[in-house]
Amino acid sequence: MKKVRRKIGKYEVGRTVGEGTFAKVKYARNTETGESVAIKIMSKSTILEHRMVEQIKREISIMKIVRHPNIVRLHEVLASQTKIFIILEFVMGGELYDKIVQRGKLSENESRRYFQQLIDAVAHCHSKGVYHRDLKPENLLLDAFGNLKVSDFGLSALTKQGNGLLHTTCGTPNYVAPEVLSNLGYDGAAADVWSCGVILFVLMAGYLPFEEPNLQALFKRINAAEYACPFWFSAGAKTFLYKMLDPNPKTRIRIEEIRKDPWFIKSYVPVKLRKDEEVNLDDVRAVFDNIEDKYVAERSENSEGSPLTMNAFEMITLSQGLNLSTLFDRRQDYIKRQTRFVSRKPAKVIIASVEAVAESMHLKVHRRNYKMRLEGTSVNNAGQFAVVLEVFEVAPSLFMVDVRKASGDTLEYHKFYKILCEKLADIIWRPAESMPNSGLLRQMTC
């Protein structure tokens, strides 16, 4: 049966690249321009059921307001009768977190470059009255040229400049400023600076400055700013971090002072901003003012009986450019949040093998055609651990299994993926070990 690719308006939709509790993110291509985009898909019924209309409307509006080279760009918002589609810039370099996992820590110069781009983006947000409130390496993406892009404005706040304190306690515990925990109100700009300081420490050290087995002990350390810099930090870096990780928000260094600090300004090239674009929120209002209306045609793919075929555009973006080696990279020392392996076994055999392994790991299996969700409880019983797997046909009799974390701890996912690969060793194909006449496939291996 011929497979029809799914289309949403002018966008041809491909694989899922991310999945959460309330949304799914898919790779797509603008059929008019050929541009790669990411589409965040949310169900209208889920949004209404959880009373999230205003929160999502705010997040989308904020992303339109804070247009900057170091912030993921929001192109437009569309809606069908049942779903909302947020069209975003497709950032193919992965998370900065992945780079830290791969390398352990980054050099001071490389850390400084990413930090400079982060501060440029955060300063731009603050100039628009926007405070991110959930800055962490997992929310910092890298484009194909290694430039940093801030993402995920789901917890951000939009206030009138100089309009008092924020009161919502939010963010990721290890990165949150001490005053946010006090419930007495806080300055969003100062709280973002603290989070940036924690990020800089993680980049250069490869581990968190504040980490404890329980939240009470963690918050105590954060409130006292109890941390120690490793020996390889330069004196300038230590002094700079001390100014950012100041538990008193009133004396903590501010963005304008950060940009003048001797450690920061080394090799600093300020980002060139385009002339301020007029922000048009008409599409946001159209989608949310009457959430039941239909605005865009949506056609689903028909993939019954066989896996979805991955086209050339998807393969190129998946491999982060024209170097296809990353498609077949299965190094055990570097496991990203989204991972993949290749098999020459029939798709049904792959699915059956994964099901068997999942059951042996005491994971609950939900399957629909050639896509599976594996669910279990986190090791520390802190919540649900979930993984999504999907099988794609990349060539005749050659299948790629895309594996990604849906919920749970990222390090726990790393351990899960290692065990999964070990148990599936008999179906995972290593191109260098077979098809000796295929020079291209040999080039795809590490």
The first and second tokens of residue 215, run together, are 């939240």
Give the CA distances from residue 393 to residues 229, 306, 347, 399, in Å, rounded to whole numbers and listed in that order: 48, 9, 8, 5
Check: CB of residue 214 under 8 Å from CB of residue 221: no
**Cα(49)–Cα(291) distance, integer angstroms:** 13
**Residue 60: how many CB atoms within 10 A of its CB?**
22
Element (H, E) at 97: helix 96-103
Q: Is 134 a catalytic residue?
A: yes
Letter for the amino acid at 81? Q
Strand 24-30 versus strand 11-19 pairing type: antiparallel
Q: Please name which of 346, 310, 333, 343 lies closest in space to residue 417, comparing C-alpha atoms.
A: 333
Measured CA to CA, the distance from residue 411 to residue 425 in angstroms comes to 21
Alpha-carbon span 366 to 246, nearest angstrom: 47
**Which residue, among 178, 89, 105, 180, has the nearest Cα to 137 in the 3D structure?**
105
260/229 Cα distance (integer angstroms): 22
Q: Which residue has 């793919």 as its token pair?
A: 301
Beta-sheet strands, E only, within 64-108: 74-79, 83-89
Q: Is 364 a known ligand-binding residue?
A: no
Question: Cα torsion for 6, 8, 9, 11, to the nearest 10°?
Answer: -70
Q: Are 350 and 343 in contact (CB under 8 A)?
A: yes
Helical spans, DSSP H, in 259-301: 262-265, 282-289
Catalytic choice (98, 134, 143, 402): 134
Rg (CA), the chain: 23
Tokens 């795809």 belong to 444
Residues with catalytic roles: 134
Which residues line the annotated binding site for ATP?
40
Residues comprising the binding site?
Answer: 40
